[in-house]
Amino acid sequence: MSVGIQRLREDAAGIRQGALDKGEDAALIDEAVSVDEARRRLLGDGDALRAERKHLSERIGASIKGGADPKGLEVAELRARSTELGARIESIEADSSTTQARLDDLLLRIPNPADPDVPIGGEEASVIVRSWGEPAQRDDRKPHWEVGEKLGLFDLAAGAKVAGSGFPIYRGAGAALQRALIDFMLELHTKEHGFTEIWPPAVINAESARGTGQIPDKEDQMYVVTRDDLYLVPTAEVPVTNMHRDEIIEADRMPIRYVAYSPCFRREAGAAGAKTRGILRVHQFDKVEMVCFERPDASNETLEWLTARAEIVLQKLDLPYRVKLMATGDMGFVQAKKYDLEVWAPGVEDWLEVSSVSNFRDYQARRMNIRGRPETTGKPEILHTLNGSGLALARTVAAILEVYQAQDGNVTVPEVLRARLGARLGG
């Protein structure tokens, strides 16, 4: 389950409204309440029948002990009644098991209600909370795909020939830029921000996808390895968070902060147009992901801290950006609160999302049964999970190519990357 059953019983109306705020099907909540009530009735009926059967067994024993014939009519009638009760109990247990499975499935499909301070509405209701840097005007700046083609940084046609549209091939200085960015981000997050680096598998199983909420919410967007019942990783969040599935984390290990690089694979790449040209929306891209396991009373503060770590990456790259608090209808199925970081790309004259930073509260951890043991009580409690891109590379590369264009057509390398790449791309 993800939304706790106790919470559903106590605040079904609030959870229903939360689903509506996210544009999701609220009928699931009504059905879950009904199924839970039916399951509880079955459990009550089963308990009553088991108590009656136990009482009959005691009567049978007492009758025989009192001298009744074990094969006589009185004992036979009691035993027949006990057998009848056993059959009814077995039937109720089967119904209860079926009902429980249905309830579990419904709970997995109920979205995580947004925090009270999240604006309600669609994309237009999202709020810009701050910005950094001065967005450059376009002037004569070229879009990144023209820059990349001219300098031989990536080859979209070759990628399409090898794998299909949306699978770019980076070459030469373009490949070096990818590698340098990954190394820079991992080094920053591990050496300065205190994260432990993880190098996760590139595939996940269905249980892992259910744990973080990709199943059922984004199952149709994942690439499936059908023969082995596996999925290509949509984001490092999935394998990294599932590392602690079905675990109790002791207080002295908290908080846990991981950072991981992985290639990411997503089937949905958007309709054709300027917002999807070049490497803006592709089926395979690289990303450095930050994942945190936190005490429930600290996750609000950690969300702000995690967002600031992603901002530091952009500041060190000297890329103007803005931070948006995402509205309910534009924040996702599993998030309780989410910030998007968008960089300004003057070549396409648009803001490009390069990071999403989210607090899931107990939603994912409940699905994965990840608990912590507080020092104060020693009683295990469901933890909170958070994650954030630190950063997604494709759009970061696009922004660098458009922001750092030189008049001679080459690209100046951001200062923080020059020790790895030199001063210029393309000459």
Structural domain count of the chain: 2
Whether residue 115 lies inside any domain: the answer is no
Give the rounded distance of the alpha carbon of 173 from its chain centre. 33
| pLDDT in the model for residue 322 | 98
Residue type at 170 in one-letter notation:
Y
Which candidate, 311, 353, 310, 190, places its Cα nearest to that of 259? 190
Whether residue 328 lies inside any domain: the answer is yes
| pLDDT in the model for residue 51 | 87
CATH number at residue 30: 1.10.287.40
Residues 390, 357, 264, 244: what is their CA dihedral angle, to the nearest 10 degrees?
A: 100
Residues 350 and 408 in one domain: yes
- Residue 198 pairs in a beta bridge with 260
Query: Which of 80, 109, 138 delimits the end of a domain?
Result: 109
Whether residue 139 lies inside any domain: the answer is yes
CB 276 within 8 A of CB 168: no
pTM of the model: 0.91
Site of tokens 């820079």: 184
| pLDDT in the model for residue 98 | 95
| pLDDT in the model for residue 361 | 97
| pLDDT in the model for residue 266 | 95
- Residue 372 pairs in a beta bridge with 249, 381
| pLDDT in the model for residue 357 | 99
Query: Which of 77, 109, 141 delimits the end of a domain?
Result: 109
Q: Which residue stretches of the chain have pLDDT < 70? A: 1-2, 67-71, 75, 138, 269-275, 427
Domain that includes residue 35, residue range? 5-109
CATH number at residue 306: 3.30.930.10
Residues 131 and 163 in one domain: yes
Residues 100 and 175 in one domain: no
DSSP 3-state percent helix, strand, coil across the chain (nearest 5)? 50, 20, 30
For residue 374, give the 3-state DSSP assignment: coil
Residues 131 and 212 in one domain: yes
- Residue 138 pairs in a beta bridge with none
Residues 375 and 236 in one domain: yes
Cα(121)–Cα(136) distance, rounded to whole angstroms?
30
User: Which DSSP letter does residue 271 get?
Assistant: -
Whether residue 52 lies inside any domain: the answer is yes
Residues 57 and 174 in one domain: no
> 132 CB contacts (<8 Å, ≥6 apart)?
311, 314, 315, 320, 321, 322
Residues 100 and 196 in one domain: no
Whether residue 117 lies inside any domain: the answer is no
Residues 91 and 193 in one domain: no
| pLDDT in the model for residue 159 | 94
Q: Could you give phi then psi for residue 378, rounded to 5 degrees?
A: 75, 0
Whether residue 20 lies inside any domain: the answer is yes
Whether residue 114 lies inside any domain: the answer is no
Which candidate, 300, 292, 367, places its Cα nearest to that of 337? 300
Query: Which of 76, 109, 142 delimits the end of a domain?
Result: 109
| pLDDT in the model for residue 274 | 53
> 327 CB contacts (<8 Å, ≥6 apart)?
118, 119, 120, 121, 122, 123, 124, 125, 126, 127
Helix (H) / strand (E) element for 340: namely strand 337-345
Long-range contacts (CB closer than 8 Å, 24 or more residues apart) made by 55-60: 56/81, 56/82, 56/85, 57/82
Residues 80 and 178 in one domain: no
Residues 101 and 12 in one domain: yes
- Residue ranges of the alpha helices (H) in 137-244? 144-151, 156-162, 173-191, 206-212, 214-217, 237-242
Residues 271 and 377 in one domain: yes
Whether residue 44 lies inside any domain: the answer is yes
Q: Which residues of 237-254 are buried (b: 16+ CB within 10 A; e: fewer)?
A: bbbbbbbbbeeebeeeeb
| pLDDT in the model for residue 56 | 81
- Residue 344 pairs in a beta bridge with 351
Long-range contacts (CB closer than 8 Å, 24 or more residues apart) made by 36-42: 36/5, 36/8, 36/9, 36/103, 38/99, 39/96, 39/99, 39/100, 39/103, 42/92, 42/95, 42/96, 42/99
Q: Which residues of 193-207 are buried (b: 16+ CB within 10 A; e: fewer)?
A: bebeebebeeebbee
> In whole angstroms, how far apart are CA 340 and each of 22, 204, 303?
17, 26, 12
Residues 86 and 167 in one domain: no
